[in-house]
Amino acid sequence: MSPMHYLLLGYGLIWLGLGVYLFQLNRRLDRVHRDIAELRERLERTRRV
Amino acid sequence: MSARTKTAFPFLRALDLLVIPMILVGLYFAYLYAPRETTMGDVQRIFYFHVGFALNCFLAFTVVFVSSIGFLWKGGRAWDDTALAAVEVGFLYCTLVLLTGPVWARSAWGVWWTWDARLTSTLLLWLIFASYLFLRTYMAEDPRMRRYAAALGILGALNVPIVYYSVKWFNTQHPTTFITQRGKLDPQMAVSLRFCMLAVLALAVALFLKRRAIGRLEEERDRLMAAYEEGEIR
């Protein structure tokens, strides 16, 4: 492998790792946000009944 | 949903819009703007981000140190959430340091790994925080687990100065600076390095704030779930 290949491999590993982590964080953030909204709604409904 | 949660959510999503362009500009600096290093060639360009990841990993573990002491001293979930978020970001950055360093080493030294003081102490740092994350994943959620995690966080963070000064204290192969034909850091290289470090710091802050917000929101969700289940039982 040439130095350029090593460079591409190095950067590839960086951005793949960071991209996966950022994607997973955003998904978790969305999910927990949705769960809270749903629970609030359910609690409101229970109180009304 | 609390007012604070409502306003924090769009802000956290908007952080990506700030950080991603900064990373792209950083890539431009590292790949195209910075001149080719004389002895190592193009593979040296790894360092523009490698150094940023290493320094920000130290910064994250310093946050772990302070927040773990805060948790043991004062208690409270906020300190613990801060420590956990900082460990995740620091651990991710430490992993990237350990992945990109060997890629450069294979090209420059001809080996992927050597038991050099800097490399070995960084691996030790990574292992301590890997065990921190194992502890948090596999031990039941209770105050005792949080105290153990805080103690381990402090112990792990104490390793940071050893890693940082290992190149001065021991006879090590790890480079401390990179130079050009003029014998000092080229101004274009210096600008590129500074910008990449700033971009990596911005990314670390964004990841940390998101991860911390998840911890706080999960706490709120658990509280709501308990209130809902209590209402159901009645």
Contact A25 B16 (CB under 8 A): no
pLDDT (0 to 100) of residue B179: 47
Using the Cβ of B106 and the Cβ atoms of chain A, whether some distance falls under 8 Å is answered with yes
pLDDT, average across residues B173-180: 62
Contact B217 A29 (CB under 8 A): yes
Q: Quote the CA–CA distance of B232 and B92 in Å, as a whole number.
A: 41
Contact A26 B220 (CB under 8 A): no
* B29 chain-A contacts, CB cut-off 8 A: none
Contact A32 B221 (CB under 8 A): yes
**Is residue B117 a contact partner of residue B49, using CB atoms and an 8 Å limit?**
no
**Is residue B95 a contact partner of residue B60, using CB atoms and an 8 Å limit?**
no
Contact A10 B220 (CB under 8 A): no
Interface confidence, given as ipTM, is 0.80
Quick one: which of B39, B31, B21 has its CA closest to B192? B31
Q: Quick one: tokens of B46?
A: 């790894």
* A18 chain-B contacts, CB cut-off 8 A: 92, 96, 203
Contact A43 B210 (CB under 8 A): no
- pLDDT tens figures, B63-79: 999 999 999 999 888 89
pLDDT (0 to 100) of residue B232: 66
Q: Quote the CA–CA distance of B13 and B19 in Å, as a whole number.
A: 11
Q: Smallest Cβ distance to A36: which of B16, B99, B224?
A: B224
Q: Quote the CA–CA distance of B195 and B192 in Å, as a whole number.
A: 5
Size of interface A-B (CB pairs under 8 A): 96
At residue B101, the 3 state secondary structure works out as helix
Contact A3 B96 (CB under 8 A): no
* Residue B20 Cα to chain centre, angstroms: 17
Sketch out chain B's domains with CATH numbers: 3-221 (1.20.120)
Bigger pLDDT: B123 vs B77: B123
Quick one: which of B46, B63, B41, B68 has its CA closest to B148? B68
Quick one: which of B53, B218, B28 has its CA closest to A36? B218
pLDDT-based confidence at B97, cuts 50/70/90? very high
- pLDDT tens figures, B184-199: 778 888 899 999 999 9
Q: How far is the alpha carbon of B1 from chain A, nearest alpha carbon, in Å? A: 7
Mean pLDDT of chain A: 83
At residue B41, the 3 state secondary structure works out as strand
**Residue B33, C-beta contacts closer than 8 angstroms, at least 6 positions apart:** B188, B191, B192
Using the Cβ of A12 and the Cβ atoms of chain B, whether some distance falls under 8 Å is answered with no
pLDDT (0 to 100) of residue B141: 79
Q: Quote the CA–CA distance of B192 and B123 in Å, as a whole number.
A: 27
Mean pLDDT of chain B: 87
